[in-house]
Every structure is written in C-alpha cells, then in structure tokens.
Chain A
Amino acid sequence: MPGLELALSEHEVEVLFQKVCGRIALNHTDSGSFGRFSAGYNAGIRLERGKIKLRNDGTVQIKELQVVHDPLTLTVAVEMPPVTVGGFCVIAKPSGGCLLRAPRKTIFAGNPDIAMNLDLGGIITTELSARCSAALKHIPREGIGRWQLFLDPTYVEIDSIGIADTAGPLIDRLLDAAADSLLGFLPDWARDLVRAIVGSFSVLIRKALNIGGDVHEWLANLFGVSLSLFAFVAQQVLKCLAEDHPIFAFDDAFPLLPGQGGTSSLESVLARVTDQKVVINDNELIITAALKAQ
C-alpha cells in the first residue's frame, strides 16, 4: 500500500510555529474590586518569537515565547478620603481626653473616586514555555476533509514577567495628572487647602493602591494575581495551540497526481489518508500515513 512520510526538522517546526504565533491576536477586558480601589484593564495580546525543541520522549518543547500586551490600558479608581476641617480639641479634660471638640465640617464627601487611565501598552511582556504532544486531527468537510497537525500543550508555564523601567516614572506622572484634573475646577486657595489636609495625592493614591516602594512588583502582582491576566493568557495560548491554530495541514483525500485541464482533461488522482501517526525524535517530527486510492 502506498504511504506518505513527511519529516519536518526542528527548524522547520519552529518556522511553522512562529507563523502560527503571528496569527494569534487576542483581546481581553476584565476588572475587579480590591478594598480601597478597583481596577480594570483592556489588553491586546500577541505572541512573538518562541523556540522549538524536539525531544526523544515524543514531545515538543516551546521556550521563550514572548507575550506582548499591547495595547494595555489599566483603569484604577481610588476612594478619596473625605476632606474635613474642625475636629480639633478646644478644651482638654484634666484627666486626659477632650472636654470640648470642634465638630468636623466636611468640604468634600461621598467618597469621590479618583479614576485614572494608565496607558501601559508595550510595557509589560511575559515569557511562556510549554510542553506539547503533536496530534493530527481530522476536520471533516463536505466532499473533502482536512488533516491538521496541532501542538497540544500538556502544560503552559509563565517563566518571567518583564516590566520596562519606564513604568515607575510613568505611573508617578499619571497619578499627579489625575490629582490635578480632580481638583482643577477649584480656586487655587481651595486646591491648596485640600492638598494640605489630605497630603500628597501621589502618596495618598500609592497608599490606597498598596503600591509600596516597588511599582514593578505592584504591577506584576496586580496583573498576575489580582486580575489574573497572565493566567488568562496562558490558558488562551493553550487553547489556541491545541484547538484553533494548527501548525500544518493537508487535504484528505490527498492529491497523488494533480488533474490536467484542456480538451483531454485528466482528473486528479486522490487517496484517502489512513493509519496516520506522528513520531517525534531529537531531530525530526515525522508524519506517516497509509494512502488508499479512491
């Protein structure tokens, strides 16, 4: 019985894989509330590079697959504390405490939110790795079907999260701008009064957002743990590779001889593909199948 054997080198599999990665583009939006602040994002996700290693145990290893989040808009909203005057002690008790305290007078109230849009496009990159089996799946179609070769990950791992050095200064600038716009309608003296009572807005917002001293760590934690963006991306990459984006495909029936047009037209010779198998070793990914003439 005639057969088919197609051997792809590691480099060829890598080229095919990178082509597939170039076609994967996702968009995702999510949000959450975290105590004193809420956050949401809109992320565009694309894949770049990615190295392939064929292994003797019949698996394909994907390494250094870069996930670029661009565009990436983070929206955070912080509850601002009420701004009050008064509340000071006028007459102290001899035994301690306060006999007469001035009532608090509220200037700002109702927990106004400071909302900010932070454009972080291209600032965050994650690197994934995966271990995959290779699977041929038959996609039936009318008249003619199609065999598709998928890299089916058994796991996808987030190896590293890269955040550009510019993220810290950028966030500082955006926080200051947000504070300015919030108080922009007030006269200068009232703005100074609010800023004096509340203190630095940048400090206030950083505290409310739990930024601490390290913006990079905060961003990684926010997207990685609180908003689970990276886990979502890993899941989507797994799904895309396993179900949506084959690295290679061929028709079933397989054309053994192409047809010829003209007056003495000859029809193409087609063969059904059976007993298909994928074997992977250190050097090659080999597809073998038997061909049954139709």
Chain B
Amino acid sequence: MTAWLNYAALAVTEMHSNALGPLDSLAHPLAPGSYLGAFFRDDRKVGSFAITIVTDGAGDQIEIDFAALEREPPEDPFTSGAAKGQHPYVVFHTSGERSGYHVVLIPQTKGGRGYDSRRLEAGDCYITTPIRPGRYQASAGKGRASAMLIVVPAKPGDKPRPSAAGAMVRVIGGRVLPATAELVSGDGAVFEIKEDGTSISLARDPDKAKPQTRRKVGVRIHGRAIRAGAGRAGIAGR
C-alpha cells in the first residue's frame, strides 16, 4: 500500500465559490423536478449528470463529486426527495486535487428553475475548510463586503478531534457577518447566502517576510603608518 497525500489541499491559500477546489464545496437546495447538469473546470466542460428530485422523500442530500464523475461518468440520475416542503440539498465538491470547477443545472421540467454556481442564490451554503493557519480575507460580490477569518493552528491531543463547523458567516447583500471569525485549522467556515447573485472569495494574507537583520560589520583597512614628513604621500602632519 502506498500513502497518498493531497498536496493541493495543503497548498490552498485561495478559495472561490465560482471555482471550487480541494477544500471547499457548495450546497444548493433544489426544488422537485428533473435537471441536466454540466460541470466545468476552468470554463471547459468536463462532464455531465442528471438529477431527479421528487416531491416526497427523506430530504437526503445528493453529493456530486466532480473528480469521481470525471473518472466514472454516472449512468443513472442522482435522486432524492423533498421532506415536508424542505428541498433537499445538492452538494457540489471535488475529492481530487484540481481546482476551478463550476456547475450549471438546466431544468427539464416545465416551470423549473436553472442554476449557475457562479451566481450564488439565497439558501445556498458555501462551505470551506481552510487548513493552513493565517488570516483570510473573505469577500462577497465584487469585493464590496468583506470579513476576516482567522485560522489558528490545530492543537494535537491524545484523543482524535474531528473537523467541526467552526464559524457560520451570513452574507446579506452588502454585509458579511460577523466581520471577524476565528476557527481552528481543518474546521469549517460556512457562508450562508441570504440574497441572490453573489459569489464568495477567500484569500490568505501572505506571510510577513521575516525582517532581515543587518549586521554591522566594522571594516578596518590597514595601511602603512606614515610619519609626517617621512614619505611622499601620507597623512598630513600638523
């Protein structure tokens, strides 16, 4: 057996809801109906799938894993059902190392509503699990609202500490609340979208370069001691 390490996940310092990658995912509540979905990586279509949501069901979420679908395109539609009027969530994510995914859903039933993950809708949840400690600027829309996420290093302990929902952030139009949130590396920051038409970006502040300490080096140039008047050139005597 060989170890597999998700190097891409360790290297993530930026996340965008319109270009999903190894450490983020997007949940969208989907109304009953039939949909055709297409997913794109760096704006190039890489696969498709079908979803059927019935009116009566257990409300279980559907997970669309882009990396898995790229490896093995699905033969059957993903199905779920609404429970007591609550639309089930479809969760888009990738288990692989690549980034840059977005998805488009096209309704196949009359009166159905389409979806483009580059424009988040009210009720969506953008779920991130930043693992690299540091300060992340979270911005909504075109940078008109922002907040700060402070990711602190995880503390090793004797007992396993599973990843938890560390911060819930609401995005309402021009506001992101709270303005500052702190979470532990590996925990989740969930952005609840309250208005249509936005997107979320996270960018980690670069590490401050360590200040270079300049050593003072005294330089002494040795020369011949020249007595005044003893040579042609030299230190002028009195």
Contact = CB atoms under 8 A, between A and B. Distances in A.
B156 to A, nearest CB: 3
A110 B6 CA distance: 11
A103 B157 contact: no
29 contacts: A87-B163, A90-B165, A90-B190, A91-B89, A93-B83, A99-B86, A100-B27, A100-B89, A100-B91, A101-B91, A102-B25, A102-B91, A102-B190, A103-B63, A103-B95, A105-B22, A106-B95, A107-B9, A107-B10, A109-B6, A112-B1, A190-B10, A192-B155, A193-B154, A196-B154, A197-B162, A198-B160, A199-B158, A200-B157
A190 to B, nearest CB: 6
Contact of A90 (B10, B125, B133, B187): B125
Interface of A: 79, 84-91, 93, 99-103, 105-113, 186-190, 192-193, 195-200, 203
Given A107-B9, A108-B5, A199-B157, A193 B61 contact: no
Contacts of A100: 27, 61, 89, 91, 125
Chain A binding surface SS class = mixed
Interface string B123-137: 001010101110000
A27 to B, nearest CB: 29
B23 A85 contact: yes
B102 interface: no
A66 to B, nearest CB: 39
B131 A102 contact: no
Contacts of B186: 85, 193, 196-197
Interface in B126-152: 127, 129, 131-133
A107 B131 contact: yes
Given A105-B22, A203-B159, 6 more contacts: A100-B125, A103-B95, A106-B6, A106-B95, A189-B133, A193-B153
B16 interface: no
B3 interface: yes
A189 B159 contact: no
B10 A84 contact: no
Contacts of B165: 88-90, 102
Nearest to A113: B1
Contacts, number: 140
Interface of B: 1-6, 9-10, 22-23, 25, 27, 59, 61, 63, 65, 83, 86, 88-89, 91, 93, 95, 125, 127, 129, 131-133, 153-165, 184-188, 190
Contacts of B63: 103
A93 to B, nearest CB: 7
Contact of A103 (B25, B88, B154, B160): B25
Contact of A110 (B2, B86, B93): B2
A100 B30 CA distance: 12
B127 A102 contact: yes
A100 B186 CA distance: 18
B158 to A, nearest CB: 4
Contacts of B5: 107-108
B125 A197 contact: no
Contacts of A84: 163
A86 B26 CA distance: 13
B175 to A, nearest CB: 21
B160 A197 contact: yes
Contacts of B158: 199-200, 203
A209 to B, nearest CB: 17
A189 B132 contact: yes
A199 B159 contact: yes
Nearest to B159: A199
B148 to A, nearest CB: 19
B132 A86 contact: no
Which 3 pairs show the lowest CB-CB distances between chains A and B? A112-B3, A195-B156, A196-B154
A199 B25 CA distance: 26
Nearest to A200: B158
A197 B27 CA distance: 24
Nearest to B24: A105
A157 to B, nearest CB: 40
B127 A112 contact: no
A101 B2 contact: no
Given A85-B163, A85-B186, A112-B2, A103 B125 contact: no
A89 B127 CA distance: 11
Contacts of A106: 6, 95
B130 to A, nearest CB: 9
A105 B63 CA distance: 13
Given A84-B163, A85-B163, A112-B3, A105 B27 contact: no
A193 B91 contact: no
A189 B13 CA distance: 14
